[in-house]
A = this chain, B = another copy of it.
């Protein structure tokens, strides 16, 4: 498997980007709250990513369908994650006070923007999943 080649130039550019993002942070006197840390930790956990991906595929989803598609998640955790994602503006929640009640979730425009990033990450993961498994096996053998 060929790995995407990163040139030295590209590495330099990456370093510059990182400097731009974190250059102001003094690790000896760290800020109370780092927005980037905070935001990423709230939306990159595995369940949130799966929620985003499912809503990227099905434009509108109700609670229990979402729960079925994201197999393995509990109601509690799903509703927690949905609330956070709604709060931060990734998804919208529309309640129709019918009987039985109907609640629909969908990505906001902001959520669609985030979906692009999640997709890039997911595509990368898929592309190199074989590579990673191979790396892991090699590592295990090196120990044995």
Binding site for B on A (CB under 8 A): 3-6, 10-11, 14-15, 17-19, 21-22, 27-28, 30, 35-37, 39-41, 44-46, 49-50, 53, 56-57, 59, 68-72, 86-89, 109-110, 112-117, 119-126, 128-129, 131-133, 135-136, 139-140
Are A129 and B39 in touch, CB under 8 angstroms?
yes
- Tell me the bound Cα distance from A139 to B19 in angstroms: 32
| Nearest-Cβ distance from residue A56 to partner chain B, whole angstroms | 5
Are B89 and A132 in touch, CB under 8 angstroms?
yes
Are B49 and A18 in touch, CB under 8 angstroms?
no
Are A53 and B22 in touch, CB under 8 angstroms?
yes
Are A131 and B15 in touch, CB under 8 angstroms?
no
